[in-house]
Each structure stands twice: as C-alpha cells, then as structure tokens.
A and B are shown apart, each in its own frame.
Chain A
Amino acid sequence: MGVEPRVGLWMPLATLAFCTLIGAVGLDRYGAHVQDEQLTWSGERVLDAMVASDGSVDRLQALDGIKVDRIVDDPAPRKYRFLWSLRGEEALDPANVDDAALVEVYLAARKAAVVRSESDHLKVARTHAGAVLVARVDRGRDVGTLPFYGGILLGLILCLGMMIWRGTGIYSALLGALAAFVPVAGGAAWAAHGLTLQAHELATAVASATGLQAPFVSNPAGVIGLAGLPLVLMIVLGIWTRSRASANRVAYTYLMPAAVGMGLLVLVPFIVGVALAFMRHDMGTFTWVGLANFGQILSSEGYGLTHPLSFYFTLAVTIGWTAINVVLHVGIGLALALVLQRPTLRFRGVYRVLLIVPWAVPSYITALIWKGMFDKQYGMINHVFGVIGLEPVAWFNGFWTAFTANVTTNTWLGFPFMMVVCLGALQSIPRDLYEAADVDGASAWAKFRHITLPLLKPALLPAVILGSVWTFNMFNVIYLVSNGQPHHSTDILITEAYRWAFEQDRYGYAAAYSVIIFLVLLSYSLLTQRVTKAAEEAYG
C-alpha cells in the first residue's frame, strides 16, 4: 500500500464548514416559518387559501366558517412606502387592485403573518397594506430543529472520531466529511421538502383563489442542490487530489471555495441577466423578443439624439463623469501623496489620518450630506456664496450645476483611495535614485518626470483602471445627490438602467441596458489592452 497523501486538517475542516453552513441554511429556513404566540404554520399543509386583496371584510365574511371581527387598519408602514418608492410611484398604484394584489399575494405567500386562528383548520393572515389572506390548513408533520443541530453535532463527532482513529490522511478526511455531511444534508432536505411543499401549495392555492399567476413558486430542488453541490465537488476534488497530489490539483482545491461561490452568486445571475436582455417583461411574464431591446436603445427610439433619455446622451455624460472624476482623484491623490511622503514634513501622520477620513465614511452618508450642502435654501455652499456676495444657485435645476455637485461629492469621496495607492507606491521607489539625480543636479520637475512617474506607473495603472470602472458604475452618488435632476440629464448609464428596471418595470430593457454597460466597460479595458499586461507586470 502506498503512502497515504497527507492533506492536513484542511479538507475535513472545510467540509465541516460547508456542512455547518448547510445546517445553518436549513435552520435559517426552518426559522422562516411565521409564529404567532402559539401558532405556527410550519409543517401544516395548506389546503385552500383566499386573498382579499383590497382588504374588504365583506369578501371575507362570505367565506364559510369565518367570522372576522377585527381587521387592524394599518396605514402602509414606512418600509412599504420605501419599497414603492424604490420601484417608482406610478408602477404600483395602491388603487390598482391587481398590482397591489400581486405584491400582497407574494408577500403573503412568502411569510404570511398569522394574526389569528379561527379554528384548528382556519387561519387568517393580515399582510401589510391591509390585504387579508385566509387559508385552510391541515396539520402535517412538524419538522423539528433536531436534524440540523443533531446533524451538525453528529457530523462534528464523527469527523473528529475519524481523524483520531485514522489520522488526518485523505481517506479519513473523506470519510469524516461524508459522515458529517449525510445527516445534515438529509435533515435539511427532509425539512426543506416539508417546508417548500407547504410554501408551494400556499402559493398555488393563493394563485388559484385569486386568478393571479403565482409569481414566485418555491422549489425544493434549490436547497437540495445547494446542499449537494459542495459535497459532490468535495468528493470529486478529494479523489482527484488523492490520485496524485500534483500541484495543479492542489491549486484547484484552494481556488474551489471561492469559485463555487462566485459561480453560484455572480456568474449565474449574470447569465440570467444577459438572458433577460432578450426578453420583454409584462406583469410578471417574460417573452422572448430577440434583439428588440438593443435596437430600441441603440437607435434611441422615441427620443432625439440629444434628449436626456437618449442612450448616447447618457453615454456621453457617463464618459465625461468618469474622465473628470478619475483625473481629479489621481491628480489630488498624487499631489497630496507627494507632499505627505516628504520625510521632513512635520505632522505627516496626522495629515494622513485626517485625509483618509472620507474613505471611512459610508458613501450613502457622504452623498446625502453633500446633497444637503447643495440645497438651495439651507445649503452651506449657497451660504458661502452669500458671504462672498454671489447669488444663491439652484444647484439641481441646471445640468452643469447638478453635474458639478455630483463631481464634487465623488471627488471628496474618492481621492483618499488614490492618495493611499500613491503613498504606497512612492514609498517603494528607492531613495538612492533621487540622491543620484541630486548629484547630477536634476531639477525637481526632472526628478518627478523621469523617476517618480515611470516608477509609479505599474502600481497606478491597475488602480486607475479599477477606479474608472468603479466610477463608471458609481450608483450611490448620482442616485442620492442629483437623482438625475434636471429631467434625468445627470443620470449615468447605471442609474438610467436602474430606473428602467425599478421605476418602469421594464426589466428586459434594463437588462439590455446593463449588457451594454458591461460591453462598454469590457471593451474599454480590452482597448487599453493593458489590464492584463499591466496587471501581470505589476502583480506578476
């Protein structure tokens, strides 16, 4: 028998972490059931349900066996106002029963808050905007939390036991991993089946009762798939690594956890997003329209080329916005770094700390504060204007003033990053180069031009590319400061796409917009052709 390849603790521990995660998912999901004081919907099968979307008591009274004596009148709380404001006022008219019903049915199906129970078999749930959901339920099996806690614990014991028994070799690692996985995954799947069955039936019942499409039907395959994926990968990789511990395989093993996560939560949504770009969204259904969305956008259909809603106008604004910001970020950052790196400067540590502050402030706070600063009436900026004898400016009424407000905010936000990058890069330039230049009698400008700049470039270039990509997609500042005012003219591509999706409900169109944004960025970085090269040079 050959020598068992040793992989250390890494393998069983990682598997255990995965299993714990799955157990946590299961627990978390299990906790998703809604609890009244004593009542819970978990484990009950919904036989029938009905929604009074307008909250009308009459329709409920008509239901057999239900006496509704109290429906709390609940003015839509702030959060739903917010939900609506996120999606646009006109998109969701509370008076439009269909829209409201759709949202309410969905919310109800997802986590109906049980407000009272008429009997063992009838439950009345009130959702937030006053819609009422009545469901007839039947007690089914109640899945306890035991499979999860028990599974995690059992897995842990078995895993440790295997390692003590057989050492930390690959075989015991695999066996231990398997031992840890099976009870957790089994419990999760079992409970998930019970739960999703219930959620599924509730959604379907609600849909049939209201004649609406069930917009979101839960799928047990998702959770089981989530549980199974890491196991399969672990086993495949384990066997693969076992056969011969070639460097490649070790490398893939190290890369795998992040790759799985990125694949599931970045790549899959991205592909779905691309697919959406070829569809049209209408009341919850998507139809294939081919390239129509792209055609509409690129021909700026319905708008003149210089209209603020035209794609080309927005593109021009976005490019201008990115260029100006990056130049300001790098310029200010580099200038400050050059000053701060002088060893003779006193208090440089203090200055450095104070100048990094904007980076530490969350960007939405910065944006909102600057919005206040630019307020016509109360804003500090206009106050300063008044002191030096200038007329107050209505910043958000004109394109250039609003654009200036955005740029000011983003400059304040972004220069510390570049400053820190420059500081780091400057530190690594060998001092003796400057000393040699001094001996040769080089001027300060010559030293900057011929020593500092060329040596700064490799570190600065990736930062500049990354910085321009971030600025190109800088949603927060535009959305919170100017919010596209006046008339969407200061919107950049990403905020424009957001509006199409969440204010107009044109998901397909917005997705096409996003695909174009992505392609613009991709060709930008390919055009410079230096991303890879510079990155390779810089980062090896």
Chain B
Amino acid sequence: MKQTPSTAMNIATHGGLICVVVATLFPVLWVIKMAFRPSQTFATGLNPFPTTFSVANFTDLFAEPFFWEQLGNSFIVAGVTTVAGVFLACTSAYALSRFRFPGRRAALMGFLVTQMFPGTMMMIPLYHLLDQLMLLDRVLGLVLVYSTTAIPFCVWMLKGYFDTIPRAIEESALMDGASQFTLFWRIILPLSRPAIAVTALFSFMTAWNEFILAATFMSDEAAYTLPVRLQQYVGQYTAEWGHFAAGALLVSLPVMILFLVLQKHLVGGLTAGGVKG
C-alpha cells in the first residue's frame, strides 16, 4: 500500500492545481461575463464574474435575420457529419483492425498522411469540385467535406480500440455460425460504445466548430453555419463583443454538455488502443 502524502504536500498540490484551473477557466468566465453585459466593448478589469445580468445580447442575437436558419444549419451539418463520419470510420477501422490484406499498411499510412495536407491547398480545388456538383451554398456540400475531414483521426482511434477487443469472442461466435456482418454489428460495435461515443464527439466538433471552409463555400447568409456569422461580430469592421460572447456561449454549450457526458470515456476511448497491455 502507498502511504498518504503529507498534509503540506497535499496543500501544495491542491494550491497548484487550483492555480492552473483558474488560469484555465479565466477566458471562459470572461465570455460568460461579457455575454450578460449590456455592452459591446471588451470587458476590462480583473473580476471574471458577471456583475450584471442582462439578456439583451441574447435577444439581439435571436432577432438577427437568419439566426435560427444558421443555428439549424449548424445542427444539421454537425449531426449528419457525425452519423456519416462515424459510420464510415467504423467500417474502415474494422477492416483495418481485423483483416490483414494487401494495401492495409498503405491505407493506414494514407489516413495519417491526409492529416498533413494543408487546408489552403484543398480549398480552391474543393471549391471548384463543389461548384461542379452544384453543392456550393448547400448544407450537403459541407457535410460531405466535413465527413471526409473527420474520418482519418476517427479511423485511427477506433482501430486502436477495436484492436483491444479479444478475438476469442468473435471466434466463438463464428463457431455458432454468425456471419461476418453479425460479428461487426452485434459484437464489435456494442463492445466499442465508449470509443464510438468519443469518435462521434470529435466528428461533431469538427463540423460544429469549422468556419473557414464554411465561409468560403457559403455565400448566402441563410446558408451560413453559426461560426461563420459569429466570428464576423469581431471581424475587421465590427467589434460587437457582447453579441459575440452571447453567441459563443450558445455555440459552446452543446459541446460542453457532450464533453461532460462523455468525459469518462474520453480517457479510455482515446488511448485504449495505444497501450494494449
């Protein structure tokens, strides 16, 4: 058994951690403070806690033309991307984890190498491609692009997790006459729920937070996703910090909630594959 550290040590540890936590939460508190402040300037001072409670920024935001459309777009894009991204990542990760076939290594490397493609290089060709398919200004175009962006990381993560599932389970199922698809659908997927949850979270975040591609591909304000509109509030021409903070709060909320719900799986889901014992 390990002995308990001394009280002094304990206090020092907690003190240090609290310092880090304060530094971590400060900008977040700042957003909350500005969101509830009836002003558009950047909040000054040192007190990170809200001093006023005004919902003016939020009501302004809701009254914006297209706000609800943009919110809807964001939800549709992120939702469909999540489903598509996770489905595609699951099937490929399964193939990469359970089969040894010619080209497997190349595929694994390929997924990794795509992470090195600079976004600027893809933007112009993608723009033309979507234009050819008449998918500019359409939610579907963004969904297609985001799904493929999210796939490589998800594949690597899921493959690592699948690797940790003992093959013995599948072998015994095979004995019982299960089909290949049953193995995948009824054994691997249910066992990988934590990893899939984390993968879904990442896919969702990819689509939910992206703004550069969305700003390039969408020229119709009604087709914007929320981030495109939000970061214009403090762009070159305007500095509406209050509106920005209120919007930032709204945008961060779904992700925060998902993070809190899934944070237990985060630790396991992210590294389980990396460290099979």
Q: Which residues of A contact B (CB under 8 A)?
A: 6-10, 24-25, 28-29, 32, 77-83, 85-86, 107, 110-111, 195-196, 199, 216, 218-219, 222-223, 226, 245, 247-248, 250-252, 254-255, 257-259, 261-262, 264-266, 268-270, 272-274, 276, 336, 339, 343-347, 351-366, 368-373, 375, 378-380, 383-384, 387, 412, 420-421, 423-425, 427-428, 430, 438, 455, 458-459, 462-463, 466, 469-470, 473, 475-476, 480, 493-494, 497-498, 501, 507, 510-511, 513-515, 517-518, 521-522, 525, 531-532, 535, 538-540
Asked if residues A25 and B140 are in contact (CB atoms below 8 Å), the reply is yes
Kindly provide the distance from the CB of B218 to the nearest chain A CB, expressed in whole angstroms.
Answer: 9
| Interface residue? B172 (CB, 8 A) | no
By a CB distance below 8 angstroms, the chain A residues around B237 are 78, 81, 85
Asked if residues B42 and A379 are in contact (CB atoms below 8 Å), the reply is yes
The complex places the Cα of A539 from the Cα of B162 at a distance, in Å, of 10
Residue from B25, B94, B112, B124 within 8 A of A531 (CB atoms): B112
The complex places the Cα of A304 from the Cα of B254 at a distance, in Å, of 49
By a CB distance below 8 angstroms, the chain B residues around A423 are 267, 271
Task: Please provide the 10 A-B residue pairs with the shortest distance between their CB atoms, ordered closest to farther.
Answer: A424-B271, A514-B121, A251-B99, A8-B181, A459-B274, A269-B125, A272-B125, A254-B95, A362-B209, A273-B121
Asked if residues B120 and A497 are in contact (CB atoms below 8 Å), the reply is yes
Instruction: Taking A248-B99, A250-B180, A363-B209 as given, write out 7 further A-B residue pairs in contact, using a Cβ cutoff of 8 Å, ordered by the A residue number.
Output: A223-B133, A358-B24, A369-B30, A384-B46, A424-B268, A515-B121, A521-B116
Using CB atoms, name the residue of chain B closest to A192.
B134
Using CB atoms, name the residue of chain A closest to B232.
A82
The complex places the Cα of A265 from the Cα of B145 at a distance, in Å, of 6
By a CB distance below 8 angstroms, the chain B residues around A521 are 116
Residue from A266, A353, A501 within 8 A of B114 (CB atoms): A266
The complex places the Cα of A499 from the Cα of B235 at a distance, in Å, of 16
Chain B count of residues within 8 A CB distance of the other chain: 131
Asked if residues B251 and A262 are in contact (CB atoms below 8 Å), the reply is no
By a CB distance below 8 angstroms, the chain A residues around B197 are none
| Interface residue? B187 (CB, 8 A) | no
Asked if residues B118 and A77 are in contact (CB atoms below 8 Å), the reply is no
The complex places the Cα of A344 from the Cα of B31 at a distance, in Å, of 34
Residue from B20, B122, B140, B179 within 8 A of A24 (CB atoms): B140
By a CB distance below 8 angstroms, the chain B residues around A518 are 116-118, 121
The complex places the Cα of A10 from the Cα of B215 at a distance, in Å, of 37
The complex places the Cα of A247 from the Cα of B134 at a distance, in Å, of 39
Q: Which of B224-267 contact A (CB under 8 A)?
A: 224, 227-228, 230-232, 234-237, 241, 244, 248, 251-252, 255-256, 258-260, 263, 266-267
Given contacts A383-B46, A497-B120, contact A345 B13 (CB under 8 A): yes
The complex places the Cα of A469 from the Cα of B238 at a distance, in Å, of 33
Asked if residues B252 and A344 are in contact (CB atoms below 8 Å), the reply is no
Asked if residues B134 and A273 are in contact (CB atoms below 8 Å), the reply is no
Asked if residues A219 and B129 are in contact (CB atoms below 8 Å), the reply is no
| Interface residue? B91 (CB, 8 A) | yes
Given contacts A32-B134, A369-B27, contact A360 B112 (CB under 8 A): no
Given contacts A9-B181, A258-B151, A364-B231, contact A473 B118 (CB under 8 A): yes
Asked if residues A226 and B133 are in contact (CB atoms below 8 Å), the reply is yes
Asked if residues B147 and A28 are in contact (CB atoms below 8 Å), the reply is no
The complex places the Cα of A262 from the Cα of B45 at a distance, in Å, of 49
Given contacts A258-B155, A259-B92, A518-B121, contact A428 B21 (CB under 8 A): no
Asked if residues A258 and B91 are in contact (CB atoms below 8 Å), the reply is yes
Residue from A6, A362, A412, A420 within 8 A of B255 (CB atoms): A362
The complex places the Cα of A214 from the Cα of B235 at a distance, in Å, of 32
The complex places the Cα of A362 from the Cα of B250 at a distance, in Å, of 11
| Interface residue? B208 (CB, 8 A) | yes
Asked if residues A222 and B220 are in contact (CB atoms below 8 Å), the reply is no
The complex places the Cα of A469 from the Cα of B260 at a distance, in Å, of 27
Q: List 20 A-B contacts (CB under 8 A).
A: A6-B179, A8-B182, A8-B185, A29-B134, A85-B237, A251-B104, A257-B91, A257-B92, A261-B148, A264-B129, A266-B148, A269-B126, A378-B41, A383-B44, A420-B267, A424-B275, A458-B274, A470-B115, A475-B120, A522-B116
Using CB atoms, name the residue of chain A closest to B160.
A539
The complex places the Cα of A540 from the Cα of B161 at a distance, in Å, of 11
Asked if residues A218 and B181 are in contact (CB atoms below 8 Å), the reply is no
| Interface residue? B61 (CB, 8 A) | no
| Interface residue? B189 (CB, 8 A) | no
Contact pattern, B 39-61, Cβ under 8 Å of A = 1, otherwise 0: 00111111000000000000000
By a CB distance below 8 angstroms, the chain B residues around A387 are 46
Asked if residues A32 and B231 are in contact (CB atoms below 8 Å), the reply is no
Using CB atoms, name the residue of chain A closest to B126.
A269
Asked if residues B211 and A364 are in contact (CB atoms below 8 Å), the reply is yes
Asked if residues A79 and B224 are in contact (CB atoms below 8 Å), the reply is yes
| Interface residue? B113 (CB, 8 A) | yes
| Interface residue? B166 (CB, 8 A) | no
Asked if residues A79 and B181 are in contact (CB atoms below 8 Å), the reply is no
The complex places the Cα of A219 from the Cα of B130 at a distance, in Å, of 11
Using CB atoms, name the residue of chain A closest to B31.
A369
The complex places the Cα of A361 from the Cα of B122 at a distance, in Å, of 25
Asked if residues A258 and B160 are in contact (CB atoms below 8 Å), the reply is no
Q: Which of B126-156 contact A (CB under 8 A)?
A: 126, 128-129, 131-140, 144-145, 147-149, 151-153, 155-156
Asked if residues A248 and B133 are in contact (CB atoms below 8 Å), the reply is no
Using CB atoms, name the residue of chain A closest to B114.
A266
By a CB distance below 8 angstroms, the chain A residues around B275 are 424-425, 428, 455, 458-459, 538
Kindly provide the distance from the CB of B67 to the nearest chain A CB, expressed in whole angstroms.
Answer: 13
Asked if residues A424 and B272 are in contact (CB atoms below 8 Å), the reply is yes
Q: Which of B162-190 contact A (CB under 8 A)?
A: 163, 179-182, 184-185
